[in-house]
Amino acid sequence: MPETNTRRAYLLAAIRAHGRPVTTQLAERLMVGSPWPTTGRNTVRKDLRAFARHGYLSPADIDGRRIYHLITPEGRPPVSAPAISMPDHVRVLGQLERGEVRAGADAAREIAARYEAAYGRAVWGRGGCETAEGGAAA
């Protein structure tokens, strides 16, 4: 399908050189160093769909995102880890364990202190951050 001097040929060669599944965002980044650096997201999407139609890529939807896998000369995607959709609760628990996300009273207090330092007590409105005893929360 692609000629040797076309935008699509460049993109397909870049995807093959990358060697891993590609998203629209990644394909757009691969085009930055090309003779067509201003190639937009919509154009890249059309190119990826065309590659899939012509048998160069295999599309897959994972967690609502479209990912394209290279097709080997034998006509199948290369063997890689299975594309298993991870449930949200498993993903969030993993983020908590790795320290990427914080939760709990201590994290909430730190966030509240940051907002209060930035915006003053006005951020809480009337009685927003007070305890049942009528005093400010510690």
Residues 102 and 55 in one domain: no
Q: Which two tokens stand for residue 124?
A: 């809480």
Cβ neighbours of residue 66 closer than 8 Å, sequence gap 6 or more: 23, 24, 48, 59, 60
- Domains in the chain, number: 2
Q: Is residue 137 part of a domain?
A: no
Stated as kind and residue range, the H or E segment containing 46 is helix 41-53
The pLDDT score that the predictor gives to residue 132 is 47
Q: How far apart are the C-alpha atoms of 10 and 13, rounded to whole Å?
A: 5
In angstroms, the CA 62 to CA 85 distance is 6
Q: Are residues 12 and 66 in the same domain?
A: yes
* Tens of each residue's pLDDT in the chain, 138 residues: 444 578 898 999 889 888 888 999 999 998 988 888 888 899 999 999 999 999 889 898 888 889 999 887 666 555 555 555 667 788 788 778 777 778 889 888 888 888 888 888 776 666 555 544 455 554
Residue 80 within a domain: no
Q: Are residues 52 and 104 in the same domain?
A: no
- Beta partners for 60? 67
Per-residue confidence (pLDDT) for residue 48, from 0 to 100: 94
DSSP bridge partners of 61: 66
Asked if 17 and 33 count as a contact pair (C-beta separation under 8 A), the reply is no
Q: Does one domain contain both 11 and 59?
A: yes
Residue 3 has what pLDDT?
A: 47
User: Does 81 fall in a domain?
Assistant: no
Question: pTM for this structure?
Answer: 0.52
Q: What is the CATH number of the domain that holds 21?
A: 1.10.10.10
Query: ∠ CA(66), CA(51), CA(74), 5° rounding?
Result: 100
Q: Are residues 12 and 65 in the same domain?
A: yes
Residue 1 domain-assigned? no
Residue 130, in any domain of the structure: no
Domain assignment of residue 98, given as a range: 88-124
